[in-house]
Amino acid sequence: MEIVGFNKTAILFRVLLVAIGATLVLGQGTKVGFYATSCPTAESIVKATVKSHFQSDPKVAPGLLRMHFHDCFVQGCDGSILIDGSGTEKTAVFNQGLRGYEVVDDAKKQLEAACPGVVSCADILALAARDSVVLTSGLTWAVPTGRRDGRVSSAADAANLPGFTDSVDVQKQKFSDKGLSAQDLVTLVGGHTIGTTACQFFSYRLYNTSSATIDPSIDPSFLPTLQSLCPQGGDGTKRVSLDDGSETKFDTSFFSNLQKGHGILESDQKLWTDSSTKTFVQRFLGIRGLLGLTFSVEFGKSMVKMSNIGVKTGSDGEIRKVCSAFN
């Protein structure tokens, strides 16, 4: 993977700091190694399950990563995104493209056989998101566990998820409301280095119409490529890489694309055109004489922070028997 601004020794040192630091910023009762005694094979079972599904379908990696994000931003990281049924979070418009539910269900089935009633679906999802990044060439991090599953899942609650037309100010506010900084925003959106989006979420940027004009932040030389991928009036569900040229590898090319005007989503491209977030993009790229931050290391740190949003621990919530239904 691409590493900017650090030698190998420094990188290894930073990785160790992530692992050590994770135990210092958990909050609310989660901790690294929560299942060490109650279900010592928990993390290895999840890892093996994710790897097995990934080998059959690499698209589950970005799907699981995105699912964890969408779970944490609604009702906290409590597995509420996993519930089946009419009117649940899973049915919300912004969650329609998520995938990887079968991976979580598979891991849960195996864990129930090994350690009945011990490992939460919320923790399975948090671990699976980390394992997905590693499988796509990202660095690992220590995942704090001990979450319990929520008992509420409503599509209406997903209405305030970060959106593809959000201004940077709106994005920063939504992240701030969850205790996340502007750097966390840029870092976590960098997860778009893997995966795809649908034409319907950005094709309005590509054409002059009665209600819109071509987005001037798009590199003019890149515009014909996007127009060929998403023809005007074409299939809005067609999937397009969020990181042009590198959708399967967890690297910094997503940020390079923003610099070139090749951001696919309007909200992503704005991270480069807005001065308050451009600084962090530049640091991940190591340009303009600024100290380069190692994106993959910072990503792990921000994921630990995000994974503790509104978690339920202790006697709160439940440990589901199956991840798609409340007990």
- Catalytic positions, written as ranges: 70
Distance of alpha carbon 118 from alpha carbon 148, whole angstroms: 10
CB atoms within 10 A of CB 20: 11
Distance of alpha carbon 146 from alpha carbon 42, whole angstroms: 12
C-beta separation of 108 from 122 below 8 A: no
Residue with the two structure tokens 């055109």: 273
Distance of alpha carbon 125 from alpha carbon 119, whole angstroms: 11
- Helices and strands per DSSP (H, E), number in the chain: 12, 4
Distance of alpha carbon 45 from alpha carbon 41, whole angstroms: 6
C-beta separation of 286 from 4 below 8 A: yes
Report residue 262 as tokens. Answer: 């090749």
Report residue 152 as tokens. Answer: 């509420």
Helix, strand, coil % (nearest 5) of the chain? Answer: 50, 5, 45
User: Which of these, 74, 124, 77, lies nearest to 101 by C-alpha position?
Assistant: 124
CA 257 to chain centre: 18
Distance of alpha carbon 186 from alpha carbon 190, whole angstroms: 6
Residues 6 or more apart whose CB falls under 8 angstroms from that of 207 comprise 214, 227, 232
Distance of alpha carbon 188 from alpha carbon 85, whole angstroms: 29
CB atoms within 10 A of CB 282: 18
